[in-house]
Amino acid sequence: MPAAGSPLSTERRRFLTETARAAGACAIAGSALAYLARDARALPAEALRPPGALPEDQFTSACIRCGLCVRDCPYDTLELADLGADGPATGTPFFTARNVPCEMCDDIPCVAACPTGALDPGLTNIDDAKMGVAVLVDQENCLNFQGLRCDVCYRVCPVIDEAISLEPLHNTRSGHHALFIPTVHADRCTGCGMCEKSCVLPEAAIKVLPARLARAEAADHYRKGWEEKDANGAPLVDGLIDLPDRLPGPGTDNLAAPGGFEPVFQLPEVAQ
Amino acid sequence: MSKQHALVGQEAIEVKGWVGAHRFLLLRRASQFGFLLLFLLGPWFGIWIVKGTLAGSMTLDVLPLTDPLVLLQSLVAGYWPSLTALLGGGIVLATYALIGGRMYCSWVCPINPVTDAANWLHRKLGLPKGWQPKRNTRLWMLAGILIVSGITGTIAWEVVNPVTMLHRGLLFGMGFTWALVIAIFLLDTFVSRHGWCGHLCPVGAFYGAIGSKSLMRVSASARSACDDCMDCYAVCPENQVISPALKGKPGSSQLILAPDCTNCGRCIDVCAQDVFHFTHRFDERVAEPSDKTLAPESQTA
């Protein structure tokens, strides 16, 4: 109903006002949604993604939350996050290793079921999966660290002796036994969670963590002298005198070792 | 709207009987329940005809279906989905482009029974319209969720989408989705008549857009028989679509061509004069007031 005399300007004003209102409301609602969407990208540490899941920032753009991976998981490992009840973004698939670990099916049905590729179909060998990395988080309570032969995490590991090995270590408490230390080799660990599930303690001493929490990252500029030397086939600096290494044990100039003797060269006393 | 009537649709019930005056409503409930049951047969009874949810499903291990709006958000977020998902999205897109995009709203969407129930209560209580944002607000919402998807690099709307959330909740576990459903029920009952489906929902806006040139349409072909009882306006969830067809100038199309029409068929149900019927968008035939042959069972869903 344009006002008489200036129909165009009234209509234009109304159009502009309404557009501004709608755009304003849209911006407010959009900001709230953006906040929620960003927030939903923070995945809790105990929630593990299915095998082959894309990196988390890509995963939330690729997973349509259809639940087909959950349906095709023969062990009911996977579940969809419930609104407000579970940590991961609502409707996305995850599993909790301590509840039901991944059984690492050879045919990887969850990946085959994914219609979008959020679970990467490039994963054809389940041993290459990287759902997380097992970390022995509590050495003080781990039974093997106390000299007992629990070994359960090692025994249940589907990639036994490659992803987890037992490394003997001197038992200083008894003086004549060995500790068999469960040692995770991250490059072979799939993060299936069998070890965490099977840990006999009331709260697991070994836990599967997302790689971002479990792994350090070596700086690009670090060079290891012994590797560089091997690659070079010769010392990297010409004319270096290779002095004998000071080793513990009898016959060396180390007083701390049994049979050690006083070093010939004494450091000069520093005036206090 | 229908102050002269004690009850909307009473006249149609008297003329056609209760079932006749609720034919499409009953069919629609059967369709909504049927689609849900197809999905529930698996988890409840171990009969796996359809797996997945409305966001993405696999029927009998051969037919993939994907929600094209979810796919579109994924694309905007910078991810190119696998062929299965794209194929599924294409099938859904083509189907709704043909039968009418908002058929999804009134025949499939699990939120529709919630908002229909809210509107039923709203009418019973004789409540005022309440907050009525412009109908195109949902288009702004649609643009908004796509922009947010692009900015955050996530499928943003799925964080709050009550449509897929309710469906997924019924199949996989509700969590706090109940709160969302109750919020929509309260919105539509007390705050805003047809507030969610009719004004805000971007899913409906998207499906309306893809079905804007759809083949299947309701036609007011016997509009000369209209006795101005206004019952169709009272029951129609998008009643702005009726006037151009029903009250258009002589010679104008009697087809309801507005993309907002959800093809729910309630106008056909409540009309004692049988003014409306389902047909295709090229059917320009005008029925005589008493011509009952032009109210055929052309409904397919």
Strand ranges (E), A11-132: 79-80, 93-94
Cα–chain-centroid distance for residue B300?
A: 15
Record: contact A65-B164, CB cut-off 8 A: yes
- Give B34 or B219, the one with higher predicted confidence: B34
* Distance of residue A193 Cα from the nearest chain B Cα, in angstroms: 23
The CA distance from B29 to B106, in Å, is: 9
Q: Which two structure tokens, joined as six digits, stand for A186?
A: 């991250």
* Distance of residue B297 Cα from the nearest chain A Cα, in angstroms: 35
Cα–Cα separations (whole angstroms), residue A224 to A174, A220, A229, A246, A265:
36, 11, 9, 21, 31
* Maximum average pLDDT range among A99-113, A227-241, A256-270, B251-265: A99-113
Nearest by CB: B88 against A41, A89, A115: A115
Record: contact A115-B156, CB cut-off 8 A: no
> How much is the average pLDDT of A98-119?
92
Nearest by CB: B176 against A26, A83, A121: A83
ipTM of the predicted structure? 0.83
The pLDDT of residue B146: 92
Cα–Cα separations (whole angstroms), residue B240 to A105, B18, B31:
56, 26, 25
The pLDDT of residue A114: 93
The CA distance from B52 to A67, in Å, is: 5
Please give the single-letter amino acid code of residue B173. Answer: G
The pLDDT of residue B137: 84
Q: What is the pLDDT of residues B225-250, one digit of tens each?
A: 888 888 888 888 888 888 787 887 77
Q: Among the listed ranges A34-48, B10-24, B257-271, which one has the minimum average pLDDT value?
A: A34-48
Q: Is A265 left (phi over 0), alpha (psi -120 to 50) or beta?
A: beta
* Distance of residue B221 Cα from the nearest chain A Cα, in angstroms: 31
The pLDDT of residue A260: 63
Record: contact A61-B153, CB cut-off 8 A: yes
Nearest by CB: B156 against A34, A70, A91: A34
- Shortest CA distance to A116 belongs to which of B55, B162, B104? B55
- Contact list, B142 vs chain A (CB under 8 Å): none
> How much is the average pLDDT of A112-136?
92
The pLDDT of residue B293: 47
Nearest by CB: A62 against B79, B134, B149: B79
What is the full DSSP assignment across chain B?
--TT-SSTTHHHHHHHHHHHTTHHHHHHHHHHHHHHHHHHHHHHHS--SEEEETTEEEETTTEEEE-HHHHHHHHHTT----HHHHHHHHHHHHHHHHH-TTHIIIII-TTHHHHHHHHHHHHHTT---B----TTHHHHHHHHHHHHHHHHTS-GGGGT-HHHHHHHHHHH--TTHHHHHHHHHHIIIIIBTTHIIIII-HHHHHHHHHTTT-SEEEE-TTGGG-----HHHHH-TTGGGHHHHHSPPTTS--B---TT-----HHHHH-TT---EEEETT------TT-GGGS------
Q: B176-180 — which CB contacts under 8 Å span 24+ positions? A: B176/A82, B176/A83, B176/A84, B176/A85, B177/A82, B177/A83, B179/A84, B180/A83
Q: Which two structure tokens, joined as six digits, stand for B96?
A: 């709704």
Residue with tokens 């629990």: A150
Q: Kindly give, in sequence order, each residue whose CB lies less than 8 Å from that of residue A108, ignoring residues fewer than 6 positions away.
A: A51, A52, A123, A124, A126, A129
- Shortest CA distance to A73 belongs to which of A96, A102, A47, A52? A102
Counting residues of chain A whose pLDDT is more than 90, the rounded percentage is 48
The CA distance from B53 to B171, in Å, is: 8
Q: What is the pLDDT of residues A138-186, one digit of tens each?
A: 999 999 999 899 999 999 999 999 999 999 998 888 888 889 999 999 9
* Distance of residue B104 Cα from the nearest chain A Cα, in angstroms: 18
Record: contact B66-A115, CB cut-off 8 A: yes
The CA distance from B285 to B240, in Å, is: 23
For CA atoms B174, B175, B177, B179, the dihedral sign is positive
Please give the single-letter amino acid code of residue B98. Answer: L
- Shortest CA distance to A47 belongs to which of A88, A78, A101? A88
Q: Compute the mean pLDDT over every residue in chain B, rounded to the nearest whole number.
A: 84
Q: Kindly give, in sequence order, each residue whose CB lies less than 8 Å from that of residue A173, ignoring residues fewer than 6 positions away.
A: A147
Q: Compute the mean pLDDT over every residue in chain A, rounded to the nearest whole number.
A: 85
pTM (2 d.p.): 0.80
The CA distance from A255 to A250, in Å, is: 9
Q: Among the listed ranges B67-76, B271-280, B281-290, which one has the minimum average pLDDT value?
A: B281-290
- Contact list, B133 vs chain A (CB under 8 Å): 25
Cβ–Cβ under 8 Å, residues A137 and A113? no
- Contact list, A27 vs chain B (CB under 8 Å): 144
Cross-strand bridge partners of residue B69: none
> How much is the average pLDDT of B47-65?
89
Q: What is the pLDDT of residues A6-56, one digit of tens each?
A: 556 888 888 888 888 888 888 888 888 888 877 766 778 888 999 999 988
The pLDDT of residue A139: 92
Q: What is the pLDDT of residues B124-175, one digit of tens each?
A: 888 888 888 878 888 888 988 899 888 888 888 888 889 998 998 888 888 7
Q: Kindly give, in sequence order, each residue whose CB lies less than 8 Å from that of residue B82, ignoring residues fewer than 6 positions away.
A: A114, A115, A116, A117, A121
Record: contact B175-A85, CB cut-off 8 A: yes
